[in-house]
């Protein structure tokens, strides 16, 4: 099993809620079908995603993601073999910075969502992104 962490930038000035909901709906369906789990964090136009699962499924999903013209500047931050999933229960967990709900601080949200992570490098990627993009939406 492998895990990939990447960042990209949306072509749209600010992805609207309908677009994000469609991306999540399709991602969750595909990830469930392909045995992938992960997390997506959005800060303004920037996306940070963690995907994990069987290598072949991960390669196919990442190829689809790279060819999606709704975003650009895709940068792979890490890719490694893992013995266990960091997000075993999430077909695709999601959080957007600057949301209007009671927990609108992106750093606080990501801190709570990653509290159980044992991988310090992965936690650093996620929290670093949150700190850079807090309240960006």
- What are the pLDDT digits (tens) for 75-112? 998 999 999 999 888 877 675 554 444 345 778 878 88
Confidence (pLDDT) at 97: 54
Q: Answer with the residue of higher pLDDT: 62 or 40.
A: 62
Q: Which residues contact 9 (CB under 8 A, 6 or more apart)?
A: 45, 46, 47, 71, 72, 73
- Is the pTM here over 0.75, yes or no? yes
C-alpha 70/C-alpha 33 separation (Å) is 23
Confidence (pLDDT) at 134: 67
């Amino acid at each position: 099993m492998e895990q990939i962490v990447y960042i990209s930038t949306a072509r749209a000035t600010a992805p609207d809620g309908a677009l994000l909901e469609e991306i999540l709906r399709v991602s969750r369906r595909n990830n469930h079908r392909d045995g992938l789990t992960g997390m997506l964090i959005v800060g303004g136009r920037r996306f940070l995603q963690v995907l994990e699962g069987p290598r072949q499924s991960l390669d196919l999903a990442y190829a689809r993601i790279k060819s999606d013209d709704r975003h650009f500047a895709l940068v792979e931050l890490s890719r490694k073999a893992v013995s266990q999933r960091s997000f075993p229960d999430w077909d695709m967990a999601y959080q957007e910075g600057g949301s209007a709900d009671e927990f609108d601080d992106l750093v606080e949200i990501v801190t709570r969502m990653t509290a159980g992570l044992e991988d310090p490098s992965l936690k650093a990627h996620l929290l670093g992104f949150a700190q850079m993009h807090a309240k960006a939406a």
